[in-house]
Structure 1
Amino acid sequence: MTETSTTPQEDQLRPRRAPVEIPAHCQVIKPEHTGARIVVLLQPEEKHLSLPRPKTSRQLLAALGLAEETALVARNGQLLTPDRHIWPGDEVLVRKVASSG
């Protein structure tokens, strides 16, 4: 099984959704992209982004220029590991984290 493959259970649990309308307050990344998109809430900036759908949360972080160890990715209140799929129309939370000593 490859890193980006899904398990049968994950495929069955994947919500079937109509494409999400892009909220007016979203910053649109790559507006020329006409394919599947996702909406991201980037915290702590409270910035809403609409961007072309990455296949995994690892690819999402790379698209945002964030290292895996510097941010958490969640969907519907559940943390996503770097290899978890992101689906068209998903609304995802990316929370930047920092440790202080």
Structure 2
Amino acid sequence: MLEAKCTRRSFVNLLVGGAGIVLGNTALAESCFDMAKLPMSDRNLRKSLNFIAVSTDSQKSCGGCAFFKATQTASCGTCMMFSGGGVAAESLCDSWVAKA
């Protein structure tokens, strides 16, 4: 008989995956970075800056932030606030500053 093993990580991945289905655009954000694979210090930094995978403000998103640098695609990039960590252009945190 097979026994299912539920770890905290698998549970979080299940929740994140389910939220992606509900939110739709979250899947694109997750293709730019994997929150579950980030070091705890990076996850805590994002949490302290109220990072969200998909901005709810049509006027603000990482793609329009001075700290954002696009990478190979316009939808993904890196953020200086996250020590160069990956972010989606549609994400947002409290450190958002409009590009000059």
Decide: shared fold, TM above 0.5.
no
Q: Which has the larger radius of gyration?
A: 2
TM-score, length-scaled by structure 1: 0.26
Structure with greater contact order relative to length (CA < 8 Å, sep ≥ 6): 1
Which structure is higher in strand share? Answer: 1
